[in-house]
Amino acid sequence: MPRLARLAAPLLTLLLAGCANFGGPPLQTGVSTLADLDRALGAPALRWPEADGGESRVYPTGPMGYKTWMARTDAAGRLLSIGNVLEMQHFARIQRGMSQDEVLRILGPSYPGWTIYYKARDELVWEWRYCDVWSEPARFDVLFDGTSGKVRSTISTTERMSLPWGRGNLREWCSH
């Protein structure tokens, strides 16, 4: 039993340390590099070069995660900024007439399993899962004209208001 007690403290410390970084990546602007980004977040789902020689990278946590990390680096590969783009101020940037590429550069890719095409309306819908300002799991949808690929409109709803997720209070999912 004493051996088990000696092992319990280091294991508990490791467990708590792992949880400490669960809310976001352990990265520092001006210090972290492209390699640090990939180590902390894995391979990016999308990336594109910027005019100043830097790069933008997208790291979604879906389908069941609530964040998509958008990182920007300089020409030397140092981190300039990183943040979750699945928030209202980014959703508000999506405007009627935008292209699919413009939406991708603001929100990153939606989860492919939630993409649907409605033939009767000639409408393509992309969907992202996020935590709203009231800490409720919610979905943000961008509705595109199926022919032109341009944004028609957007809509947001809590998961509690739609099936199959609409059962009970799910705020605890957004509380960490």
Task: Report the pLDDT value the prediction gives residue 164, as an integer from 0 to 100.
Answer: 59
Task: Report the pLDDT value the prediction gives residue 169, as an integer from 0 to 100.
Answer: 61
Please indicate, yes or no, whether the overall pTM of this predicted structure exceeds 0.85.
Answer: no
More confident of the two residues 13 and 162: 162
Assigned CATH class of 86-176: alpha beta
In this prediction, residue 26 has a pLDDT band, given cuts at 50, 70 and 90, of confident
Task: Report the pLDDT value the prediction gives residue 134, as an integer from 0 to 100.
Answer: 87
pLDDT at 5 over 60: no
Task: Report the pLDDT value the prediction gives residue 65, as an integer from 0 to 100.
Answer: 84
Domain boundary assignment for the chain: 26-84, 86-176
In 3D space, the residue among 39, 96, 105 whose CA is nearest the CA of residue 72 turns out to be 105
What tens digit of pLDDT does each residue of 43-57 get? 999 999 999 999 999
In this prediction, residue 23 has a pLDDT band, given cuts at 50, 70 and 90, of very low
Task: Report the pLDDT value the prediction gives residue 147, as an integer from 0 to 100.
Answer: 97
